[in-house]
Homo-oligomer: A and B are copies of this chain.
């Protein structure tokens, strides 16, 4: 008998029919003799409707009350899923995040799980086959209702799987797994059977929208093996787990493109200690998250000036330029340039560590297509390049073809 945590997202529970489908799928798992903990999101559209309702009341609703409001979305779903299971004679009990023992810090609308005490879940599993837990929510030690922010239901599922020492965590979604590239752009993209946490992290950070970074981080931290799979099919999905020796045979695991970034370049920056620190401290203080940073060596030893480029999320660009302007006199650069028409192309694979010439092959494949590279950034298992956005899809296909096929 295995203990399996299954998470179903908003589209999987989008209406009464889909909720019944989820119940049937859970019932099948029960029929195998497994104990099932189901984590669900709000029905698709519900969270947005609640936010719209709040905005009708006030443009700046207090975050504590936003959590009180949004938590009703998942609470609605757990009750309906429990009803659907009862209707097909599967004993099931629903629990809010608080009832499931999910304790968080007090940072409303983006709380962090600090502790899970799953006594109630364990006790119920001894009595019934299925326990349904509201994703995305928890409560503070003082009993305040909190929510975990975007992707919060994945986080609930993975953290609960860790706390329950579950045998497997299944993340049901509307795609069949993690692909080597976005199949809408790259027709030859394949679903991967398995991928390491680190590769998944790099892909998630590179624009592959399957899961939020912090969910994968939690899974990695607690060694939770999870499977990303479709709630609409019976095919196995992609298993995400610790790196294994055999994974290194594959140089490039996946390729992703992120079209939501903008580039800022500071020209003629004094090349002396502390300058970069000032720039990125100022941006961090303004809560602007910076992704790729590139700084070249000085052109001229007698006049030590350099150029610094970095990318930010597109919606943050205007704010980033304001911040840079505000520190201009302090730093004394010559000029600031920005470009919204860029994309970041990344390829990821733990096999890169032991294979030489990977970056070179990537650059060649891009050159062959006449695609110019604006910035390059590498990590141990990733190479990212910034290119023109109009060439992004072509570049994705070219790199995928060169490494994966």
> Interface residues, chain A, CB within 8 Å of chain B?
16, 19-20, 50, 53-54, 56-58, 60-62, 64-66, 68-69, 71-72, 75-76, 78-80, 82-84, 86-87, 93-94, 96, 99, 120, 143, 145
Instruction: Check A82 against B68 for contact (C-beta < 8 Å).
Output: yes
> Which residues of the partner chain B approach A75 to less than 8 Å between Cβ atoms?
68-69, 71-72, 75
Partner of A86 from B16, B50, B53, B65 at Cβ < 8 Å: B65
CA distance A84 to B84 in the complex (A): 36
Interface of A is mostly: helix
Instruction: Check B78 against A68 for contact (C-beta < 8 Å).
Output: yes
Whether A87 touches B57, Cβ cut-off 8 Å, given contacts A69-B76, A76-B69, A79-B68, is yes
Instruction: Check A65 against B79 for contact (C-beta < 8 Å).
Output: yes
Known contacts A62-B83, A96-B145, A99-B143, then 15 further A-B pairs from the complex at CB < 8 Å, ordered by chain A residue: A16-B56, A16-B57, A19-B57, A50-B76, A53-B80, A57-B80, A58-B83, A58-B86, A62-B86, A64-B93, A65-B83, A68-B79, A68-B82, A69-B75, A72-B79
CA distance A35 to B75 in the complex (A): 31
> Which residues of the partner chain B approach A62 to less than 8 Å between Cβ atoms?
82-83, 86
Whether A58 touches B84, Cβ cut-off 8 Å, given contacts A53-B16, A99-B143, is yes
Partner of A57 from B68, B83, B93, B143 at Cβ < 8 Å: B83
The 13 sampled A-B contact pairs (Cβ below 8 Å) are A16-B56, A58-B84, A60-B87, A62-B86, A66-B83, A68-B79, A68-B82, A68-B94, A69-B75, A69-B76, A69-B79, A72-B75, A120-B143
CA distance A234 to B118 in the complex (A): 51
> Which residues of the partner chain B approach A93 to less than 8 Å between Cβ atoms?
64
Residue of B with least CB distance to A43: B53
Give the Cβ gap from A223 to chain B, nearest Cβ, in Å.
31
Instruction: Check B79 against A66 for contact (C-beta < 8 Å).
Output: yes
Identify the 6 closest CB pairs spanning chains A and B, nearest first: A58-B87, A69-B79, A16-B56, A72-B72, A68-B79, A61-B83
> Which residues of the partner chain B approach A86 to less than 8 Å between Cβ atoms?
58, 61-62, 65
CA distance A351 to B405 in the complex (A): 95
Give the Cβ gap from A363 to chain B, nearest Cβ, in Å.
53
Partner of A54 from B56, B80, B94 at Cβ < 8 Å: B80
> Which residues of the partner chain B approach A99 to less than 8 Å between Cβ atoms?
143
CA distance A94 to B82 in the complex (A): 27
> Which residues of the partner chain B approach A87 to less than 8 Å between Cβ atoms?
57-58, 60
> Which residues of the partner chain B approach A71 to less than 8 Å between Cβ atoms?
75
> Which residues of the partner chain B approach A20 to less than 8 Å between Cβ atoms?
57
Whether A65 touches B53, Cβ cut-off 8 Å, given contacts A72-B75, A75-B72, A84-B58, is no
CA distance A57 to B290 in the complex (A): 46
CA distance A54 to B93 in the complex (A): 15
CA distance A200 to B69 in the complex (A): 36
> Which residues of the partner chain B approach A56 to less than 8 Å between Cβ atoms?
16
Instruction: Check A72 against B83 for contact (C-beta < 8 Å).
Output: no
CA distance A82 to B120 in the complex (A): 31
Residue of B with least CB distance to A86: B62
Give the Cβ gap from A121 to chain B, nearest Cβ, in Å.
13
Residue of B with least CB distance to A66: B79
Instruction: Check A65 against B82 for contact (C-beta < 8 Å).
Output: yes
Give the Cβ gap from A214 to chain B, nearest Cβ, in Å.
25
> Which residues of the partner chain B approach A54 to less than 8 Å between Cβ atoms?
79-80, 83
Instruction: Check B84 against A57 for contact (C-beta < 8 Å).
Output: yes
> Which residues of the partner chain B approach A76 to less than 8 Å between Cβ atoms?
50, 53, 69, 72
> Which residues of the partner chain B approach A16 to less than 8 Å between Cβ atoms?
53, 56-57
> Which residues of the partner chain B approach A78 to less than 8 Å between Cβ atoms?
68
